Amino acid sequence: MEDCLLGYTPEELTAYLQALGEKPFRAKQLYDWLHKGVEFDEMSNLPNGLRERLKQSDVAIGVSIIKTLVSQKDGTEKYLFSLRDGNVVEGVLMRYNYGNTLCISSQVGCRMGCAFCASTLEGRVRDMTAGEMLGEVVAVNRLHAQGDKRGVTNIVMMGSGEPLDNYDNVVRFLRLVSAPKGINISLRNVSVSTCGLADRIDDLAEENLPITLSISLHAPTDEARRRIMPIANKYSIERLMKACRDYVDKVGRRIVFEYALIEGVNTSLDDADRLAALTRGLLCHINLIPLNDVPERDLRAPGQKGIDAFQKRLESLHVSVTRRREMGADIEGACGQLRRKHLSTEEK
Ligand code: SAH
């Protein structure tokens, strides 16, 4: 899919405008507007004629917010983003003391098939472009970064989609979103979460980007992992952990392992022991997530006691571990649920 102009680098915008017979300084003006999330009509320092011409042949920003839900509990906001082909994806803005973290989507749907994840239930519809991923960020910035209010300061790629299954667009997005003259979010404030495409993790290590790599591990044995994550049939845990060790060796940054606790699947104390053994000696942290129930698949989180016991066992083994704070529980905060609801009401 052809990208919107927001997905262009400054050099590409210059070449594009030059081909239209425009001077190079126009590219800088256009770039600044695009990164503020502004549509052609409002680009007040561009001549009318140019604006009209751009409007006829191109799209400035290929994303708009069509629905916002605000949590009464913690101020978390959930957005439904519409793409220009009518597809929708979702994002979540979480407010912390240190800043505002936006969770964005990287694909419409997902083809990874994890048993607990709502984003994958209808498969992958298409990859998102780099400009569309940027579009999620600038749309939210437009809502919030006014006056002295802070916009998005941190990004987690944990919305719908498997980022490393859309590798080129995601790496391009990472470069664009961290460009000092653009949105300028430091890659140290960006997390990329993957279900574990080991070959792509090897590729990513070569890019040597200072992002935080999150691995959705969710089980300490191949057998348990294969029950919930089809990708485990392609890459064994041994292969995945090798990619992680190589990654840390090359990039020198700590990896975060995501571990969703699912009753009857991965919550025994033996599982905790195995998890500790797997990650021993690696520069990493474990993030425990109580599963957001998925009624469609009959999977549930364990009770509070089970979660505490699992965490304590890891701590007793000197594992660096925390539990993910649950936010936006009253606004379909979890993983793909808002889009599903939107799609199912549309069908009626
Ligand atoms: N495809 C990427 C990123 C998207 S999912 C990945 O697999 O990492 C972001 C995180 O939410 C992943 O750790 C994923 O496993 C987790 N997740 C998905 N559904 C969940 C659910 N119902 N409860 C808790 N975590 C879930």
What's 155's domain CATH number? 3.20.20.70
For the segment 216-234, the average pLDDT, to the nearest whole number, is 98
Cβ within 8 Å of residue 2, ≥6 positions away: none
Pocket flag, ligand 1, residue 71 (CB < 6 Å): no
Cβ within 8 Å of residue 277, ≥6 positions away: 220
Pocket flag, ligand 1, residue 162 (CB < 6 Å): yes
Cβ within 8 Å of residue 47, ≥6 positions away: none
Number of domains within the chain? 2
**Residue 313 neighbours by CB distance under 10 Å:** 19
Residues 44 and 192 in one domain: no
Residues 91 and 214 in one domain: yes
Mutate which of 193, 204, 234, 296 for ligand 1 pocket (most atoms within 8 A of beta carbon): 193
Angle between helices 24-35 and 130-144 (to 10 degrees): 60
For 243-295, how does the pLDDT look when each residue is reduced to its tens digit (9 = 90+)? Answer: 999 999 999 999 999 999 999 999 999 999 999 999 999 999 999 998 988 77
**Residue 265 neighbours by CB distance under 10 Å:** 21
Residues 234 and 291 in one domain: yes
Given pLDDT bands bounded at 50, 70 and 90, which one contains residue 143? confident
Residues 294 and 271 in one domain: yes
Q: Look up 335 and say whether it is catalytic.
A: yes
Q: Quick one: tokens of 305? A: 């006691």
For the segment 69-79, the average pLDDT, to the nearest whole number, is 91
Pocket flag, ligand 1, residue 117 (CB < 6 Å): yes
Task: Identify the weakest region by mean pLDDT among 202-206, 223-227, 239-243, 336-340.
Answer: 336-340
Backbone angles phi, psi at 169, to 5 degrees: -65, -35
What confidence score (pLDDT) does residue 348 get? Answer: 40
Q: Out of 22, 77, 90, 332, which one is annotated catalytic?
A: 90
One-letter-per-residue 3-state SS of the chain = CCCCHHHCCHHHHHHHHHHCCCCHHHHHHHHHHHHCCCCHHHCCCCCHHHHHHHHHHCCCCCEEEEEEEECCCCCCEEEEEEECCCCEEEEEEEEECCEEEEECCCEEECCCCCCCCHHHCCCEEEECCHHHHHHHHHHHHHHHCCCCCCCCCEEEECCCCCHHHHHHHHHHHHHHHCCCCCCCCCHHHEEEEECCCHHHHHHHHHHCCCCEEEEECCCCCHHHHHHHCCHHHHCCHHHHHHHHHHHHHHHCCCEEEEEEECCCCCCCHHHHHHHHHHHCCCCEEEEEEECCCEHHHCECCCCHHHHHHHHHHHHHCCCCEEECCCCCHHHCCCCCHHHHHHHHHHHC
Domain that holds residue 297: 63-347
Pocket flag, ligand 1, residue 100 (CB < 6 Å): no
How far the first Cα of the chain sits from its last, in Å, is 29
Q: Give the end of a domain, one of 57, 73, 88.
A: 57
What CATH code is carried by the domain that includes residue 46? 1.10.150.530
Residues 14 and 153 in one domain: no
One-letter-per-residue 3-state SS of 22-43 = CCHHHHHHHHHHHHCCCCHHHC
Partners of 283 in the beta sheet? none
Dmax (CA) of the chain: 69
Tell me which residue has tokens 């990287």: 106
Residues in the chain: 348
Choice between 121 and 209, residue whose per-residue pLDDT is larger: 209
C-alpha 28 to ligand 1 mean position (Å): 38
Given pLDDT bands bounded at 50, 70 and 90, which one contains residue 341? low
Residues 188 and 111 in one domain: yes
> Global pTM?
0.94
Residues 316 and 172 in one domain: yes
Residues 294 and 215 in one domain: yes
Please give the share of the chain, as a percent, with pLDDT higher than 90: 83
Pocket flag, ligand 1, residue 319 (CB < 6 Å): no
Residues 116 and 220 in one domain: yes
For the segment 174-191, the average pLDDT, to the nearest whole number, is 96
Task: Identify the weakest region by mean pLDDT among 59-68, 113-122, 161-170, 172-181.
Answer: 113-122
Residues 70 and 41 in one domain: no
Residues 13 and 71 in one domain: no
Q: Give the end of a domain, one of 21, 41, 57.
A: 57
Residues 227 and 92 in one domain: yes
What confidence score (pLDDT) does residue 347 get? Answer: 44
